[in-house]
Amino acid sequence: MIGVLDHVGIAVRRLDEALARYRILGLAPEVIEDLSSEGVRLAFLPAGSVSLELLESTREGGPVARFLEGRGEGLHHVAFRTPDIRAELRRLEAEGFEPLDREPRPGARGRSVAFFHPKSAHGVLIELVHEPSSGAAPEPRTLK
């Protein structure tokens, strides 16, 4: 079952510039991570019980690069926690959601993730997030 809202993803052209703007709002990055498998550099900024995830493309033609080319900076996705990501993938697909991932894949902060096409949710990319079964996510790599 879908759980609480985990984070809201925001595509940005330059992560360092975006971080400077969000710091003015009082939001500081908890994690800055390079997720080379997805061609992104990202930062998570806690904002109460939800985080903002700023995403900068590091690879031409990657998913975030294509998003920025087509739509510009802004809301990229909404992510929800789930205790059983495989079961939730199957359930949502049975309900007519179009999966972009048939199986969970490695995501930021040591979590497993899966995405659903934006046309499944009125133009919003949906991400499912599952933490490792050990209960605690591994320490994220912080890059400067």
pLDDT in tens, 39-95: 999 999 999 999 999 999 999 999 999 999 999 999 999 999 999 999 999 999 999
At 133 the pLDDT is: 67
Q: For residue 91, how many other CB atoms are within 10 A of its CB?
A: 14
**DSSP-derived secondary structure for 63-127:** HHHHHHHHH-SEEEEEEEE-S-HHHHHHHHHHTT--BS-SS-EE-GGG-EEEEE-GGGGTT-EEE
Q: Provide the CATH number for the domain formed by 5-130 in this structure.
A: 3.10.180.10
Q: For residue 75, how many other CB atoms are within 10 A of its CB?
A: 14
Q: Name the residue ranges covered by the structural domains of the chain.
A: 5-130
Query: Using CA atoms, how far apart are residues 29 and 7, in angstroms rounded to an integer?
Result: 13
Q: Say which DSSP state 140 is in.
A: P
Lowest mean per-residue pLDDT among 32-41, 43-52, 118-127, 131-140: 131-140
Q: How confident is the model at residue 11 (pLDDT cuts 50, 70, 90)?
A: very high
88 near 65, Cβ under 8 Å?
A: no
Report helix, strand or coil for 32. Answer: strand
Going from the C-alpha of 35 to that of each of 18, 88, 91, 96, 109, the distances in angstroms are 18, 24, 28, 30, 9
Going from the C-alpha of 92 to that of each of 19, 31, 56, the distances in angstroms are 34, 30, 28
What rounded mean pLDDT belongs to the chain? 91
Query: Using CA atoms, how far apart are residues 103 and 86, in angstroms rounded to an integer?
Result: 7
The answer, yes or no, to whether residue 120 has pLDDT greater than 80, is: yes
Average pLDDT rounded to a whole number, residues 125-136: 78
